[in-house]
Chain A
């Protein structure tokens, strides 16, 4: 597996942001670091030619998540006279590293990006989408066509889940509006 220089430095940047967000003691600083993480991930999505995912990452990862987290910690206070960095618990660290190792061990089983003989690219369903998506939906990006048109009910269900969660939060807090 080889990386282009751009992919390599972007991965280093994303990893650095993630570690910073995890280890910083001040929650506000960690939120800022996670916003930077989202910016790096968007570059990766563009490198992988998925602009719609990058747009979602921009709206949700950098925009909504940052705002939600800021609202969440609005009532908290800043820890005074404490270490700048979290001291990770050794046992949790072992569990997390082992979990990441297990996930990484599955990576070689994936087909290479864009490989013509990968089961997804050669499958009957994929062929149907590639041949008919434009005539049926008039959306030029096949991935967007599948997400927004063919899986419209699925997306509607997700929207219903988010809406229900929002209403439930308002009910629990006994308020009528957010913020």
Chain B
């Protein structure tokens, strides 16, 4: 992929939803982007649990769900834009999501008074 295709990719992405790679029909690209939008909407719903709690465990699990959601969304976007390289970001988030939950859980146990 040359530098020029990077720029044209940016221009295409700015043009709107129906700007997928050549091997996907515009309809399929729109479906992928729409599904990603639906998943973000689900993440907003889960955000209610982060806000409301009531315990810290609820929040950790909620952020874990949002993280898994993000991995799925990033995979959808990688497919919609036809950029397999974007999957690397999804992989990094899948790893970090797990580590984050472990770190916060360990911390809540050590601090105590939460359970």
Contact = CB atoms under 8 A, between A and B. Distances in A.
Mutual binders A and B = yes
Interface of A: 4-6, 8-10, 12-13, 16-17, 20, 24, 26, 28-29, 31-33, 35-36, 39-40, 42-43, 46-49, 51, 54-55, 58-59, 62-63, 66-67, 70, 74, 77-78, 84, 112-114, 116, 121, 129-131, 133-134, 140-143, 145
Interface of B: 1-4, 6-7, 9-17, 33-34, 36-37, 40-41, 43-44, 47, 50-51, 53, 56, 59-60, 62-63, 66-67, 70, 73-74, 77-78, 81, 83, 85-86, 88-89, 92-93, 96-97, 99-100, 103-104, 107-108, 110-111, 113-114
Nearest to B73: A43
| Best-surrounded residue of B16, B74, B77, B100 (most CB of chain A within 10 A) | B100
Nearest to B40: A9
A4 to B, nearest CB: 5
Nearest to A132: B3
A6 B33 contact: yes
Nearest to B17: A4
Contacts of B34: 5-6
A33 B100 CA distance: 12
